[in-house]
A and B are shown apart, each in its own frame.
Chain A
Amino acid sequence: MNWYGCWTLYSRESRRFLNVKMQTIVAPALTAIMYLIVFRYAMGDREVPGLEVAYFDFLIPGLVMMAMMQNAFANTSSSIMVGKLMNMQIFLMMAPLTAFEVTLAFLAAAVTRALIVAVVLLLVLAPFTNISIEHLWMIMFYGITGSIIMGGMGMIGGMWSKTFDDMALLNNFIIMPLTFLSGVFYSVKQLPEAWQTANHFNPFFYLIDGFRHGFLNVGDTDPSQAIIVVSIATLSTVLACWYLWRAGWRLKD
């Protein structure tokens, strides 16, 4: 195991987003704050049907989780995409780093960015809300696995995309719908039954619901089922990243 090499790649991937803090940390925080302002005034003190939670409080964990997931995805996908355009991925291939080490470093950096964004958002939003940390382990488990899954999808997306258009396509037609329709803005109990069932096939739904459960102590899913689904999704994503990087999928002739 080339630990020092793996650590170097991790710190490179982390310094890369810290060098452009405005885009990578301040911008997502601002977006989330704008969502909250809009919903605060649009929804007032209304409660989420069936949950006895103020809609505003319900929204915050979902938005934080969405920001974490989007940032984890952006970190890996943009790094690999820019690397491809600059022909820079050759340095990774020439270095004595195994596919496992590369995957580990990329995903750890994605999780780091997601956690920084989450902490910043929670600190900014804390004065406006009554939510508190009810189950820290749930918040950490779903926050980290969600970032790993999305960081991994970003890696795969980065490898798959040949152009920024491909990347935009992936973002707009797969990532955005899956995150938006996974219960960030509503409780699935508000949905027609068919949609409720459909949601149970969306791993993002479990992630957001579980993360929110950690703050609100209420949720739409069965916790043990959620843990199994999320663990399987995390493991499969990591394995897919490892396998595809090892094969040099769309990177190596």
Chain B
Amino acid sequence: MSYALEVKKLTKIYKNGKQALQGVDLSVPEGSFFALLGPNGAGKSSLINILADTVHPSSGEVTLLGKNLFTERKWCKQRLGVVPQEIAFDPFFAPRDILKIMSGMFGVKPDMKWIDELLERLELTEHAKKNARQLSGGMRRRLLVAQALVHKPKIVILDEPTAGVDVELRKRLWGFMRELNDNGTTILLTTHYLEEAEELCDQVAIIDQGKLLTSQSMASLLDSVGSSSLVLEYHENMTMTDTIQNKLAAFSPRIEKNTVSLCLKKNDSGQNNFNDAYQTAIALLGEAKSVSVQNEDLEDVFLRLTHNGNTV
């Protein structure tokens, strides 16, 4: 497989001594829609800023489409578009001029057709001639997306691009990103909306405290670590007894008020032990008011891996 990005043993120690990255290895396949997840302070932005050349790395290597990012900066930068997390804008110019300037700085004569299309797709056409100071926060963020795309990069990195963008617009923005991805652009994304990552991305990596915890395809992550559980709801509150604990030990039972949850496991042929769990529970606790099966989603996996429930 060829990789759009290969990060090897990347470390970053800031001047204040903070170790933001502690030897991260990460491979982003070419053409993938890649989610980079992690709690606040995990090192996502440090990693992205090193790729964008706004932060110096402490050690490590990065190759972009096979070339060394740190020694062949110009070649690499022309193929990379980054949407930074923090809002930044040029207060002297209007969006259309800003896009022309950005294109020019990448050494590309402004392609007005593409600039108009970007303005249209990011819903900035009617604001194209206003000074950037007059734009709202959401518009400035969309302008950042347009700026990152104006030189038609092969790889696009989006660091929290939808913070502060309303739901409808977010959907349309993702539709646009998916189109770019379908046309061969590799997209690396960090987001706080895990359901978005789950829906959009085919690859996922989770980092925490400057280290990579896992990196695999979204499907296999959800499949391998994402188990499901049987949830039985009763009319009255239940209490955990030794008998329940012992007889249902195979299903690691948990009781919360009137619900009993049992973990289901898959056998080799991919079938889970639903029947077994259900029969044992009913025999022991009686018929339940309602029965359901819940699949662990990305959020549960994420929380379990990062042991960090409150910072997401």
Contacts and interface: CB of A to CB of B under 8 A. Distances in A.
Contacts of B238: none
B17 to A, nearest CB: 12
Interface string A81-123: 0100011101111111110000000000000000000000000
B301 interface: no
A82 B91 contact: yes
A88 B89 contact: yes
B89 A86 contact: yes
B82 interface: yes
B76 to A, nearest CB: 8
B53 interface: yes
B interface residue count range (under 10 / 10 to 19 / 20 to 34 / 35 or more): 20 to 34
A198 to B, nearest CB: 38
A224 interface: no
Interface in A16-70: 16, 19
Interface stretch (B102-110, B161-169, B258-266, B288-296): B102-110
Given A16-B92, A252-B55, A95 B105 contact: yes
Interface in B83-104: 84, 86-93, 101-102, 104
A93 B54 contact: yes
A interface residue count range (under 10 / 10 to 19 / 20 to 34 / 35 or more): 20 to 34
A9 interface: yes
A3 to B, nearest CB: 8
> Per DSSP, are chain A's interface residues mostly helix, strand or loop, or mixed?
helix
A93 B15 CA distance: 20
Contacts of B186: none
A19 to B, nearest CB: 6
Given A96-B73, A96-B74, A248-B56, A91 B14 contact: no
A253 B14 contact: yes
Interface in B6-24: 14-15
B147 interface: yes
Contact of A87 (B88, B106, B109): B88
Contacts of A15: 92-93
Interface of A: 2, 4-5, 7-9, 11-12, 15-16, 19, 82, 86-88, 90-98, 248, 252-253
Interface of B: 14-15, 49, 52-56, 73-75, 77-78, 80, 82, 84, 86-93, 101-102, 104-109, 147
